[in-house]
Structure 1
Amino acid sequence: MARHARGLSRRLTDWTFRSMVMKLTKVWDRISGAEPAAAPKPGAGPRLHSLDALRGFNMFWIIGAERIAHALGALRLSKTALAVEQLSHSQWIGFTFNDLIFPLFIYLVGISLTFSVENRRRRGERTGDLLRHAIIRTGLLFLIGLFMSNSGYFLRGVFDNIRWMGVLQRIALCYGAASFLVLFTKPRQQFLTVCGLLIGYWLLLRFVPVPGAGPGVWTEEGNLANYLDSRFLPGRLYYGTWDPEGLLSTFPAIAACLLGALSGHWLRFEGRLRGKLIDARAKAEYLAAAGLLLAALGLLWGLDFPVIKKIWTSSYILLAAGLSAVLMALFYWLIDIRNWRNWAFPFIVVGLNSIFIYVGSSFLPFDACARWLVGGKAFASLGDWRLLAEALVSFVLQWLLLWAMYQRKIFIRL
């Protein structure tokens, strides 16, 4: 009798959880106009599992790299020094693995955009409908980012110290601009736009003088991008007088999204190039080669226009987008061509709910739960290793939530 009662209780709990989340998801989809992640609709193209996996791989570092780096740094081990360095952002000029994470996400947004637009067009949606969806999605992303950047101020009713820019706000602006260009221009025009944005940004920072510093100064206070933030970006700035997601640096970030869109066009391409049929293997090879070329051009340009993540210099965009393309080609070859998918399953689970976990990691008590779990007597002997254990347990808790949502086919998307 007790066993039957426990089984009934578990089924009731599972049904309540599923019902609650599904209702919330339906309301969210109705507000945002998002596509429910059910079976593919008629006319939809094949799904890139590699895209989901690479997005999940990237999201792991977004929500976990900083804590892991902090925990490894606390150990003060010589063997972990390189890992700590690569999991931390460059102080100013330079490039680390962690500097790749944000532009990689924006690059993947561009790839997703091309597939989404084409699938919707195949289902008969008009350009006006697609534009309306893009505008709504851009607005929602920006508003969510605005809340995440300022939740404490909103909750306290302090509205005169708002930080208007941030990570999700930048993603929203890049997505909105790239959506407009993908809907109304050809790939050739999108490529020319990328060139114009990157070269134009270099010309501005290289030759427009900053009061008190002059032109072509690459210090934090002497460059044009940060100067314009200090003069014209309202509200609270991340670094006091300038913001790493500032006004002028948004334009090269849009170029990163467009480079992703161009990669998406290439992965969707069907036909011949110079008389040779382009199959999936050739797509991966050409994409990897293009990525290496972009990365090399970025390093070369960096001799005159330094690689600086915090102001998104054009050399940084080319280097990051090039490495992103190489990663995309590798994941595409392993998962969609060779069909080696089992190893990528943990990343796919994360990638299918990437925005949800990014927002949720800031508001749900994963870190507090991890500290409680690792803070017991069983872990007392860990010493300085406890911080690393907490970081890993926190991520495991997040993954288990995403896995439970995956099992119930709950995908919250914009």
Structure 2
Amino acid sequence: MKQHCSSILNTLPPHRLMALDVMRGLTITAMILVNNPGSWSAMYWPLKHAEWHGWTPTDLIFPFFIFIVGMSITLSVDSMRAKGFNHAYILKMGAIRAVKLLALGWFLALFFYNFRDPTFSWIDDTLLQLRVLGVLQRIGLVYIVALCCYLYLTPQKIALTCISLLAVYAVAMLYLPYPLPNGDVVNGLWLHGNNLSAWIDNAVLGSHHVYYAKAQPLPFDPEGIFSTLPAIASALSGILAAVYLTKQTDLKKQARVFILTGVLAVIAGYLISPLTPINKALWTPSYVLLSSGLAIITYAFCSAILDIYKVRAWGAPFIVFGANAILFFMFAAILARLLIMIPVGDTSLKGLIYGSINTLITDNPLASFVFSLLFLAVSYGVMYGCYKKGIFWKV
């Protein structure tokens, strides 16, 4: 294992800072782990999302990734500027990337066929029920807006934009009235299926094209239209963190400032939570402050461990996952669907594998977690093979 990790670290440029690479790898690894349990009904609580208000470690994964997207925008744009590329070219490449992310999201939404149901119709049950928005779609939309902000706004204006997005979202959610199907007009609600963001999703996307299609009274999407605004703020917080990172070369001072900033952001999130409750599905302002604060603290600890004290071997596997984050996400999503789609007797291939594990391990949550680890191990084998061969899929 030590030799394996050393071989990965030896491929990195000698003076490369590892903190962002490893944090990206940790985040995408956690995302795949929680997305692929043996059974959704048998999971340890840290691997579940909060039922509605509040948060669990799982609720931090997606905003951490959005935060990292923001940091990566700063570093990649600075690199492209140094190579002489103008803003028009950078924006063109960014737009192409955003479109690719949207297309990949729709591909995953359509990549399913129920072979065990003779009445299943791919056109009626999948194509015409297409979920318009989703994880990759949100990343694409957030990425292109955040990229424009970094290209054309000063850091001070980016900070103001970040605050303004959170303020506008909070005020609208609290005070803008919206009609319910029964004719009542309400405002200021933060309920499942009953809030302004849900009303917008239902009105624009329709009940058949959102994740919570059966939510009452208003079907909605956790990666919905209006809640994308505060998600953009999450990316802008990552941009601002990376701006400071590029200007402050003293890593110890950098880590101290990040930890202090992160703690203040978390405190601020909790202070405003009575007005805007911490909620991932609504991506509330308190949730943005909490998650961005914890993200910047996490980066500071990664920086201290990996780049200041040079304890690096443990981070090597996450370098492999982080170097191909989108490929890893796509591979895992396709593999997960195939395991469900392939019929084996009266169950699926996933059912057969999980059933075999559950026979050996009778503790259901543990068996479910072992399935997740097995899924992750298979994924690592494929991603490591790509890493060794120099296959890096950049969307």
- Give the shorter-chain TM-score range: 0.7 to 0.9
User: Which residue is equivalent to 2:274?
Assistant: 303
User: Which residue is equivalent to 1:18?
Assistant: none
Change (3 A) 1:307 1:316: same
Shift of 1:145: 0.8
User: Which residue is equivalent to 1:14?
Assistant: none
Distance in structure 2 (CA, Å) of the matches to 1:210 and 1:46: 55
User: Which residue is equivalent to 1:290?
Assistant: 261
User: Which residue is equivalent to 1:6?
Assistant: none
Distance in structure 1 (CA, Å) of the matches to 2:358 and 2:109: 34
Distance in structure 2 (CA, Å) of the matches to 1:169 and 1:151: 15
Conserved 8 A contact 2:74-2:243: yes
In the TM superposition, what whole-angstrom CA distance separates every residue of 1:46-77 from its partner, at most 9, and x where no partner exists? Answer: 64421111111111111112445848x64xxx
User: Which residue among 153, 156, 168 is the counterpart of 2:122?
Assistant: 156
Shift of 1:126: 1.2
User: Which residue is equivalent to 2:389?
Assistant: 408
Distance in structure 2 (CA, Å) of the matches to 1:367 and 1:390: 12
SS in structure 1 at match of 2:178: coil
Quick one: which amino acid aligns to residue 402 of structure 1? M
Conserved 8 A contact 1:178-1:257: yes
Distance in structure 1 (CA, Å) of the matches to 2:139 and 2:151: 18
SS in structure 2 at match of 1:243: coil
Q: 1:142 aligned to 2:102?
A: yes
Q: 1:396 aligned to 2:368?
A: no
**Two-structure CA RMSD over aligned residues (Å):** 2.6
In the TM superposition, what whole-angstrom CA distance separates every residue of 1:316-374 from its partner, at most 9, and x where no partner exists? Answer: 11111111111011111111222221111111111111110101111136858887778
SS in structure 2 at match of 1:281: helix
User: Which residue is equivalent to 2:21?
Assistant: 52
Distance in structure 1 (CA, Å) of the matches to 2:327 and 2:379: 11
SS in structure 2 at match of 1:307: coil
Distance in structure 1 (CA, Å) of the matches to 2:352 and 2:392: 29
Q: 1:338 aligned to 2:309?
A: yes
Quick one: which amino acid aligns to residue 253 of structure 1? A
- Spell out the pairing of 1:233-312 with structure 2 (5 A cutoff): 233-234=205-206, 236-240=209-213, 241-270=219-248, 279-312=250-283
User: Which residue among 201, 208, 222 is the counterpart of 2:194?
Assistant: 222
Shift of 1:389: 2.7
Aligned length: 355
Distance in structure 2 (CA, Å) of the matches to 1:254 and 1:279: 29
Query: Runs ≥4 in structure 1, deviation > 4 angstroms?
Result: 68-71, 365-376
User: Which residue is equivalent to 2:361?
Assistant: 382
Conserved 8 A contact 2:38-2:372: no
Distance in structure 1 (CA, Å) of the matches to 2:308 and 2:389: 28
User: Which residue is equivalent to 1:88?
Assistant: 48
Distance in structure 1 (CA, Å) of the matches to 2:58 and 2:101: 23
SS in structure 2 at match of 1:252: helix
Quick one: which amino acid aligns to residue 124 of structure 1? G
Q: 1:349 aligned to 2:328?
A: no
Quick one: which amino acid aligns to residue 382 of structure 1? I
Shift of 1:380: 5.0
Change (3 A) 1:379 1:150: closer
Distance in structure 2 (CA, Å) of the matches to 1:285 and 1:141: 35
Distance in structure 2 (CA, Å) of the matches to 1:408 and 1:115: 25
Conserved 8 A contact 1:110-1:260: yes
Change (3 A) 1:46 1:148: farther
380-389 or 114-123, which deviates more: 380-389
Conserved 8 A contact 1:117-1:130: yes
Stretches of structure 1 that go unaligned for 5 or more consecutive residues are: 1-37, 75-82, 271-277
Shift of 1:400: 1.2
Change (3 A) 1:126 1:367: same
In the TM superposition, what whole-angstrom CA distance separates every residue of 1:128-182 from its partner, at most 9, and x where no partner exists? Answer: 11111101101101110111123238x9345432211000000000100000111
243-252 or 380-389, which deviates more: 380-389
Conserved 8 A contact 2:105-2:135: yes
Shift of 1:239: 0.6
Shift of 1:230: 1.1
Change (3 A) 1:287 1:391: same
Q: 1:132 aligned to 2:92?
A: yes
Quick one: which amino acid aligns to residue 222 of structure 2? P
135-144 or 234-243, which deviates more: 234-243
Distance in structure 1 (CA, Å) of the matches to 2:320 and 2:289: 29
Shift of 1:405: 1.5
SS in structure 1 at match of 2:393: coil
Distance in structure 2 (CA, Å) of the matches to 1:371 and 1:222: 35
Quick one: which amino acid aligns to residue 168 of structure 2? G
- Spell out the pairing of 1:166-205 with structure 2 (5 A cutoff): 166-205=134-173
Q: 1:328 aligned to 2:299?
A: yes
Distance in structure 2 (CA, Å) of the matches to 1:371 and 1:237: 27
Distance in structure 1 (CA, Å) of the matches to 2:210 and 2:189: 21
Change (3 A) 1:193 1:379: closer
TM-score, with length taken from structure 1: 0.80
Conserved 8 A contact 2:37-2:371: no
